[in-house]
Chain A
Amino acid sequence: MNRRELLDLYYLEARAKLIDVAAFLDRLERAEGASDFRLTAFTQALTQLGRSQEPRVVRVLASLSDPTTEPIPAATTKAACGAWPGKS
């Protein structure tokens, strides 16, 4: 499909998601209390949306990933939260 056709197919959906992200960040800003590493990770991931050699989606996913390579000593939880808390 050409660019025009892809815009016809996905523009409104992507626009809605973009506005949702903006509203999400505003909502967080209006709220009180401490934030955590997830917001930091999210904000950093947003900077990956600019154009470069590697696809944006790969860079965003990588920036939200655990960058370490060694297995952790033990699993203390089963869940993943979508951002790497960092060495703590």
Chain B
Amino acid sequence: MRYIEPHAHMVSRVTDDYRAMTLAGCAAVCEPAFWAGFDRSAAAGFYDYFRQLTEHEPQRAAKFGLPHFSWLCINPKESEDVALAREVIALIPQFLERPNVLGIGEIGLNKNSRNELQVLEMHVDLAARHQQLILVHTPHLEDKLKGTRLILDVLRADARIRPERCLIDHVEEHTVKMVLDAGFWGGMTLYPETKCTAARAVDMIEQYSGERLWMNSACDWGVSVPLAIPLAALELRRRGHGAEAIDRLIYQNPVRFLSQCSKFKLPKEPMASA
């Protein structure tokens, strides 16, 4: 089995996780910029974080022969401070040409505040000006439904944004339809308690064809499971899905979306299925 982990915060994970993921068939890992669990005190903290995502982390992954890609932004959880966000966003263009950077993400909303919305619009503008792919974080729990609607409104209001180049992550049953109907990609996050179980992800795949869906573990410093995708593949198998259908979901789909960035290239796979 081969799979892509399209959303993992590896800076928060131990090296053993890289080993376990590679052993389980991971062929590439993609790391969106996110909140460290505490607020960084200045834009310089983000500069170092972007270096970590574009220099250091790819080297850690390379020890296991695992290609590592990243997405850059200031996370919605730190977007209440618009002045700080403006400074951080000004840092991003110098990193966009780096070989492992796929686009702008994970941007979006957290508590659905006016400032968060303003910073989201700044990020969308940045992505549009630099023709970048967009990875969107939708809010948690009670804030998700409203936040997803607000985010889709922002993206649809900008004529430069093409929905097929945006992935709306952390969809659940009450948001997946509006995301797919509007032409965007949807990401299902297999995260215990607060997001989606493997069984529910399979339900959504069965109901929405899975054409523009991917799954991710979003593993980070919280309670999360770096092997969530292979475990979901097992769930798909228990539900009667064949090897080709599983490969399409956990490998070919992410490759199809991510390949819209020319920098997303995988080494020729000796074990690739014929």
Q: Looking at chain A, what size class is its interface with the partner chain?
A: 20 to 34
A62 contacts chain B at the CB level, 8 A cutoff: yes
CB distance from B175 to the nearest CB of A (A): 8
B68 contacts chain A at the CB level, 8 A cutoff: no
A50 to B220, CA, bound (A): 36
0/1 per residue, B126-166, Cβ < 8 Å to A? 00000000000001111111100110000000000000000
Interchain CB contact under 8 A, A69 and B149:
yes
**With a CB–CB cut-off of 8 A, which chain B residues contact A71?**
112-114, 116-117, 150
Contact partner of A81 (CB less than 8 A), chosen from B77, B141, B150, is B141
Q: Looking at chain B, what size class is its interface with the partner chain?
A: 20 to 34
CB distance from B173 to the nearest CB of A (A): 4
A52 to B116, CA, bound (A): 36
Contact partner of B146 (CB less than 8 A), chosen from A64, A68, A82, is A68
**With a CB–CB cut-off of 8 A, which chain B residues contact A77?**
111
Interchain CB contact under 8 A, A80 and B174:
no
Interchain CB contact under 8 A, B173 and A55:
yes
The residue among A58, A65, A73, A84 with the most chain B CB atoms within 10 A of its own CB is A65
> Which residue of chain A has its CB nearest to the CB of B142?
A84
**With a CB–CB cut-off of 8 A, which chain A residues contact B141?**
64, 80-83
B80 contacts chain A at the CB level, 8 A cutoff: yes
Interchain CB contact under 8 A, A72 and B174:
no
CB distance from A68 to the nearest CB of B (A): 6
The residue among B140, B172, B174 with the most chain A CB atoms within 10 A of its own CB is B174
A27 to B35, CA, bound (A): 35
> Which residue of chain A has its CB nearest to the CB of B203?
A57
**With a CB–CB cut-off of 8 A, which chain B residues contact A10?**
199
A67 to B146, CA, bound (A): 7
A34 to B88, CA, bound (A): 44
Interchain CB contact under 8 A, B114 and A74:
yes
A76 to B143, CA, bound (A): 14
Interchain CB contact under 8 A, B114 and A73:
yes
> Which residue of chain A has its CB nearest to the CB of B175?
A61
8 smallest CB-CB distances across A and B, nearest first, come from: A75-B111, A80-B141, A61-B174, A65-B145, A80-B140, A75-B113, A57-B173, A82-B141
